[in-house]
Amino acid sequence: MCLMTTGGTIGSIYDPTVDSLRPGLSVEKLLQSLPPGLKSVRVVTREIFEVDSANAQPHHWQEIASAIQQVHNEMPDLDGIVVTHGTDTMVYSASAVSFMVRDFGKPVVFTGAQIPLHVPWSDGPRNLLDAIRVAAFADLAETCIVFNGEIHRPTRTKKMRSDAYDAYDSVDPSPLGVLGRDIVLFDWHRTRHNLVPKFDTRIDDRVFLLKIFPGLPPAILSRIINMGYHGIVMEGFGTGNIPTMENSLTGAIQQAIAQGCAVVISSQCVFGRTDLSLYAVGRAALDAGAMSAYDMTSEAALVKLAWVLGHTHDLDQVREMMTTNFVGEIPHIGRESLGSELGL
């Protein structure tokens, strides 16, 4: 298997010059934290970049996906890949790789730590060991996040806690699996296969995430478009509701769409899904031309919209792709279509 490093807390060291943590641990030091018995697993290494994940940008998603493609071309028989990454934006990066690397046939496992390796009670060694177990032995063919003994699908995951070991939770359905004495995978995971992988790193990173709040001025949407953004994910209230009386957003949404900007409505709620047809204040967004994020988290909707806009700016095609379940990001639609109808 291949271990790729990108920085993050798991690879951080204390820097007295700034009196804080920063990435700086080599991949060799990471491997030294693992138990001796793991030597039965052959690990090749790649250092992609070294950043705090708060500094990760969309081009870093592309770099990770391109590194996976390169390793696959060089060593197609690898059992799986582990990517160490900071926890702050791991969901974004792992979700992006889910779309950019499809039909890979084996696990691409993201992991990290809440506490640096040099601290005796760090969760890093366990998370890294669990990630390697999944990459080497699990009958899994998805990009996933392995953390605190759980296996999560990135597009269904949120970082819920800033400093606890159980940083991540899956949001409907439950995790893909758990790790104990054995690796236990639940029914909704994809199993290993021999399909030809699809590598597609095209994105348009001019996508904005806007949280709706009481008093939000509608003119903010035109400001966003004037800044050059081609897509907006709006976090609505509850099931995707928006203001329709004072500070109504319906006219601003119509104007944005008329200017060729894709508008997607997600929910500020962690659990449940967007349903724009349930209330009149949600139906107003739908009638104005906005798209529903359905089950997608706001993070997944943002990443997916950037990936979709990297392929087309035609709003009818954008709508079709946003409602296509590519990698399990919209589980209520059913099994992944993998974009076959769209030639992707």
322-332 confidence digits (pLDDT tens): 999 999 999 87
Confidence check: pLDDT of 31 > 80: no
Rg from Cα positions in the chain: 20
pLDDT at residue 166 tops 60: yes
Residue 28: predicted pLDDT: 76
- Among residues 259, 209, 258, 251, which one has the least CA distance to residue 234? 209
Instruction: Give the whole-number percent of the chain exceeding pLDDT 70.
Output: 94
Q: Which residue has tokens 């946003």?
A: 322
Question: What is the Cα–Cα distance from 16 to 206, expressed in whole angstroms?
Answer: 37
| Residues 65 and 143: beta-carbon distance below 8 Å | no
Lowest mean pLDDT among 3-12, 29-38, 277-286, 313-322: 29-38
Cross-sheet strand order for the sheet of 2-7 = 44-51, 2-7, 81-84, 108-111, 143-147, 150-152, 177-179, 183-185
Which residues form the catalytic set? 9, 87-88, 159
For the segment 186-215, the average pLDDT, to the nearest whole number, is 94
Please state, rounded to an integer, the average pLDDT across all residues of the chain: 91
User: What is the distance between the alpha carbons of residues 255 and 252, in angstroms, rounded to a whole number?
Assistant: 5
The predicted structure's pLDDT at residue 341: 43
Q: Is the peptide bond before 214 cis (omega within 30 degrees of 0)?
A: no
Digit-coded pLDDT (tens) for 72-109: 999 999 999 999 999 999 999 999 999 999 999 999 99
Range 207-334 classified under CATH 3.40.50.40: yes
- How far is C-alpha 293 from the geometric centre of its chain's CA atoms? 15
Confidence of residue 38 (pLDDT cuts 50, 70, 90): low
Q: What is the DSSP code string of 165-206?
A: S--EEE-SS--SEEESSSEEE-TTSPPP--PPPEE-------
Residue 39's pLDDT band, with cuts at 50, 70 and 90, is low
SS3 101: strand
Confidence check: pLDDT of 58 > 50: yes
**Cα 127 off chain centre by:** 18
C-alpha distances in Å from residue 324, one per residue of 25, 197, 232, 296, 321: 40, 19, 18, 12, 5
For 231, the token pair is 């897509």
pTM value? Answer: 0.92
CATH class of 2-199: alpha beta
pLDDT band (50, 70, 90) for residue 241: very high
DSSP state of 318: H
Give the residue extent of every domain in the chain. Answer: 2-199, 207-334
Q: What gap in Å lies between CA 315 and CA 261, rounded to an integer? A: 8
Confidence at residue 343, expressed as pLDDT on a 0 to 100 scale: 56
